[in-house]
Amino acid sequence: MEKRDELYAGKAKSVYRTDDPQRLILHFRDDTSAFDGKKKESLARKGMVNNKFNAFIMEKLQAAGIPTHFETLLSDDECVVKNLEMLPVECVVRNVAAGGLVRRLGVEEGQALTPPTFELFLKDDANGDPMINESLAETFGWATPEQLATMKALTFQVNDVLKQLFLDGDMLLVDYKLEFGLFDGQVTLGDEFSPDGCRLWDANTREKMDKDRFRQGLGGVIEAYEEVGRRIGITF
């Protein structure tokens, strides 16, 4: 497979075309950002850690029957994925109250959420990724009702697989964000799953082991990501 020109540069990943129009290369960079790109830093080893973390999780999800765009690792910080037509919607599931939910509703951080919640956000940095719902998504053509139903079902299926995977490593999967796209018309998991887009707490101490360490200036960001990986069996 031949790497061609850059198609798109996101905040932490760059996407390259290949000689196969159906395949793209994702390059995980060391760049880290938060607050819709307002806080930025380069963290050594982050690209490598997130690339390997994402590959491990995507393979677990694929093995559980969840269609993902992931194909193969290409190098320490690159992988090959299917070229999806992305839907501009972020799906968030929460098992424990934290972050935006606490800010929005004033509920107590750390409260268990039973059943877990499901929220939709529009992928729109300029407007701070506003919260949306199924009706708005249908009206504005961001996703059809059928696509939304599939995304919701898949996002909860991911929860079943990953909640247990992290619990086996003594961690709580507090919440996470997924993005989907279409490949041959099929709703397929895209983007990435890494500690950049989820919250993970140590199950005993509730220490934060995810991107909140960066957002809140707690330090030890990549060390925490590597510890999460080590606990679930990833070797970096």
Residue 198 binds ligand 5GP (CB under 6 A): yes
Residue 199 binds ligand 5GP (CB under 6 A): yes
d(CA 235, CA 231): 10
Among 68-76, 157-165, 196-204, 221-229, the segment contacting ligand 5GP (CB under 6 A): 196-204
Which one of 61, 92, 143, 171 is in contact with ligand 5GP (CB under 6 A)?
92
Give the helix ranges, DSSP H, for 64-144: 99-105, 134-139
Residue 31 binds ligand 5GP (CB under 6 A): no
Closest distance of CB 173 from ligand 5GP, Å: 9
Nearer to ligand 5GP, 31 or 90 (CB): 90
How many residues touch ligand 5GP under the rule CB under 6 A: the total is: 14
In three-state secondary structure terms, 158 is helix
At 233, which amino acid appears?
A: G
Following DSSP, what letter does each residue of 37-49 receive, concatenated?
A: TTEEEE-TTHHHH
In this chain, which residue has its C-beta nearest to ligand 5GP? 99
Nearer to ligand 5GP, 52 or 177 (CB): 177
Residue 151 binds ligand 5GP (CB under 6 A): no
Closest distance of CB 233 from ligand 5GP, Å: 22
The rounded Cα 103 to chain-centroid distance in angstroms is: 21
d(CA 169, CA 228): 8
Residue 99 binds ligand 5GP (CB under 6 A): yes
Nearer to ligand 5GP, 18 or 54 (CB): 54
Residues engaged in binding ligand 5GP (CB under 6 A): 90, 92, 99-101, 129, 175-177, 196-199, 211
